[in-house]
């Protein structure tokens, strides 16, 4: 249902380095790459994540209540992605663990610019 989500950035090269390294573990690579936008995905027909310099030229800011949730293949991968994000300069927003009433595992972090990310696996 979701085509893609973009996160505003004030330093596209730093954002690209963070997401290149983070998303490689789930098989995502750059699908779109221009001077102001980069989008990663596993294929163009599934959900994608991008970083973008704001079109209006204003400073990018973090959306309060916004979050990009990234599905992964296993509960173990939830923890691995969370740990890798922290190693790459992200910050913790919730350690890996079960959430909700289903058999789901979630972990939360923020990227270096403060955008909230979730990694999850529903078994």
pLDDT tens by residue, 28-80: 999 999 999 999 999 877 899 999 999 999 999 999 899 999 999 999 999 99
Sheet containing 91-99: order of strands: 68-71, 116-122, 104-110, 91-99
User: What does the domain layout of the chain look like in residue ranges?
Assistant: 4-55+66-122
Average pLDDT over residues 67-96: 97
Question: Are the C-beta atoms of 22 and 88 separated by less than 8 Å?
Answer: yes
Instruction: Give Dmax (Cα) for the chain.
Output: 43
pLDDT exceeds cutoff 90 at 123: no
CATH class of 4-55+66-122: alpha beta
Question: Are the C-beta atoms of 68 and 9 separated by less than 8 Å?
Answer: no
Q: Give the residues across from 41 on adjacent strands.
A: 29
| CA 57 – CA 69 distance, rounded (Å) | 27
């Amino acid at each position: 249902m979701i085509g893609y989500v973009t996160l505003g950035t004030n330093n596209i090269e730093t954002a690209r380095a963070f997401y290149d390294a983070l998303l490689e573990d789930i098989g995502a690579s750059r699908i779109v790459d221009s001077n102001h936008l980069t989008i990663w995905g596993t294929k163009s027909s599934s959900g994608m994540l991008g970083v973008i310099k704001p079109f209006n030229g204003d400073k990018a800011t973090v959306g309060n209540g916004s979050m990009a949730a990234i599905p992964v293949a296993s509960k173990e991968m939830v923890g691995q992605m969370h740990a890798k994000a922290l190693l790459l300069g992200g910050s913790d927003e919730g350690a890996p663990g079960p959430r909700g009433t289903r058999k789901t595992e979630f972990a939360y972090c923020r990227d270096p610019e403060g955008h909230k990310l979730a990694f999850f696996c529903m078994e």
